[in-house]
């Protein structure tokens, strides 16, 4: 389903009353004070303590929007069943998360031809969500998500990719340091490690023209593989965080998503062998960071909702602890979609998530 501003409110059960109330004065301002000088921004290393526990707003703004430029200038948030609402951010903050990550399929809202203009409607929606996050004292991160044509044809898409980042960076250049950028989610396919190293460097050069000190995260190749950190070559820039995603073992985390693996069929028991494999992967990431003097974080991990709940709890707890014991900040994928920690129907955190992801949360 494609959503306009009015249908967002209708989905929230607010309807036209919310439209009228939106014009009234608020006790708390939504205005973000613009920044004109980024020289005082926190370093990447110092930022880590402010982004220790994150969660992605998955299944929403990265949904496809094939008819956007066919006379229907609407945002396709909700096409995959998830619409972001302001009270979601309260729930996330109350659970102890300190950064909210927003995946956005920007290329769905950018012209195919030069100058590859991004439609203002998507900026307005992202501005709104970022505003919800920042006014609650949390950090926010936006990325380019599911840019599949960039994955398949990086050289032919390069000009458009750079132009999209040029517009995003310029639009958010006056936002405070609480907003982070992530260059591209899970580069893969024809974005081989050498090609990705080339493309990320050019994107970063573009970003730095308007955002010289904003913290930027860079994902490793092959869908964020921890092993591909070894082939990640970053420019000389002390405001970068290298990030990997962790969905191992695949048959466990993706059961029910991959048609070859029926949901509920694969368990993770926390055997010595299983735990040692995870320990080895995280040790590899830690060693790479130390050897290359780079800040590293685990930028995404999660299990599909069809995985056995007890196994989800065990695995999530172990991966989370592996990240923390290696001094990595982490982000869970995701809030309320297919791998979600939040139960949308019951409007509460899943029991397994309370036990393993946010164990300090008061009942």
Longest C-alpha distance within the chain, in Å?
A: 59
Q: Which residues contact 357 (CB under 8 A, 6 or more apart)?
A: 316, 317, 320, 332, 341
According to the model, what pLDDT value does residue 360 have? 64
Tens-digit pLDDT profile for residues 216-259: 999 999 999 999 999 999 999 999 999 999 999 999 999 999 99
Predicted TM-score (pTM) of the model is: 0.90
pLDDT at residue 140 greater than cutoff 50: yes
List the helix and strand counts (H, then E) for the chain: 13, 10
- What is the percentage of the chain residues whose pLDDT exceeds 90? 85
* E strand or H helix that includes residue 348: strand 348-349
Average confidence (pLDDT) over 310-329: 97
Average confidence (pLDDT) over 290-315: 97
According to the model, what pLDDT value does residue 31 have? 66
According to the model, what pLDDT value does residue 209 have? 97
Neighbouring CB atoms inside 10 A of 315's CB total 27
pLDDT at residue 73 greater than cutoff 90: no
Confidence of residue 27 (pLDDT cuts 50, 70, 90): very low
Confidence of residue 23 (pLDDT cuts 50, 70, 90): very low
Alpha-carbon gap, residue 37 to 140, rounded angstroms: 19
pLDDT at residue 19 greater than cutoff 50: no
Tell me the CB-side half-sphere exposure of residue 196, using CA atoms within 13 A: 26
Q: Are 267 and 312 in contact (CB under 8 A)?
A: no
At 308, phi and psi to the nearest 5? -55, 135
DSSP-derived 3-state class of residue 99: strand
Confidence of residue 13 (pLDDT cuts 50, 70, 90): very low
pLDDT at residue 361 greater than cutoff 60: no
* Residue showing tokens 């300090």: 360
By residue count, the chain amounts to 363
Average confidence (pLDDT) over 24-28: 39
Position with higher pLDDT, 228 vs 20: 228
Burial of 11 (0-12, 13-18, 19+ CB in 10 A): middle
Long-range contacts of the stretch 39-47 (C-beta < 8 A, 24+): 39/212, 39/213, 41/177, 41/213, 41/214, 41/215, 41/239, 42/177, 42/215, 43/215, 43/238, 43/239, 44/215, 44/238, 44/239, 44/240, 44/241, 44/295, 45/295, 47/139, 47/177, 47/180, 47/215, 47/241
pLDDT at residue 6 greater than cutoff 80: no
Average confidence (pLDDT) over 137-143: 98
Mean residue pLDDT of the chain comes to 90
Please measure the distance between the N-terminal and C-terminal CA atoms of the chain and give it in whole angstroms: 35
pLDDT at residue 191 greater than cutoff 50: yes
Alpha-carbon distance values, 16 to 19, 121, 244 (Å): 5, 20, 43
Confidence of residue 75 (pLDDT cuts 50, 70, 90): confident
Average confidence (pLDDT) over 148-175: 98
Does domain 49-356 fall under CATH 3.60.10.10? My reply is no
For the chain, what are the domain ranges?
49-356
Average confidence (pLDDT) over 5-13: 36
């Amino acid at each position: 389903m494609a959503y306009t501003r009015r249908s967002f409110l209708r989905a929230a059960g607010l309807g036209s009353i919310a439209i009228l109330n939106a014009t009234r004065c608020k006790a708390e301002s939504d205005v973000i004070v613009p920044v004109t000088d980024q020289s005082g921004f926190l370093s990447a290393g110092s930022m880590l303590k402010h982004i220790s526990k994150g969660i992605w707003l998955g299944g929403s703004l990265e949904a496809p929007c094939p008819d956007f430029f066919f006379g229907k200038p609407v945002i396709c948030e909700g096409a995959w069943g998830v619409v972001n609402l302001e009270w979601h951010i309260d729930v996330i903050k109350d659970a102890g998360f300190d950064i909210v990550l927003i995946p956005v399929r920007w290329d769905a809202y950018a012209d195919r031809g030069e100058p590859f203009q991004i439609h203002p409607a998507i900026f307005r929606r992202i501005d709104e969500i970022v505003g919800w996050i920042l006014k609650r004292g949390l950090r926010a991160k936006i990325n380019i998500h599911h840019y599949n044509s960039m994955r398949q044809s990086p050289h032919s898409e390069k000009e458009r990719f750079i132009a999209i980042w040029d517009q995003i960076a310029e639009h958010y250049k006056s936002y405070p340091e609480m907003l982070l950028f992530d260059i591209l989610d899970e580069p893969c396919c024809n974005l081989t490690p050498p090609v990705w190293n080339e493309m990320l460097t050019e994107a970063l050069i573009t970003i730095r023209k308007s955002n010289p000190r904003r913290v930027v995260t860079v994902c490793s190749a092959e869908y964020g593989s921890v092993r591909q950190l070894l082939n990640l070559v970053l420019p000389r820039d002390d405001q970068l965080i290298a990030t990997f995603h962790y969905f191992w073992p695949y048959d466990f985390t993706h059961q029910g998503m991959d048609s070859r693996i029926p949901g509920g069929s694969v368990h993770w028991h926390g055997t010595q062998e299983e735990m040692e494999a995870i320990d080895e992967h995280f040790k590899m990431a830690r060693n790479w960071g130390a050897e290359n003097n780079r800040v590293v974080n685990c930028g995404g991990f999660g299990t599909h909702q069809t995985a056995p709940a007890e196994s989800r709890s065990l695995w999530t707890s172990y991966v989370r602890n592996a990240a923390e014991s290696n001094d990595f900040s982490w982000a869970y994928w995701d809030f309320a979609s297919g791998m979600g920690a939040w139960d949308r129907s019951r409007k509460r955190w899943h029991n397994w998530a309370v036990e393993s992801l946010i164990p300090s949360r008061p009942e």
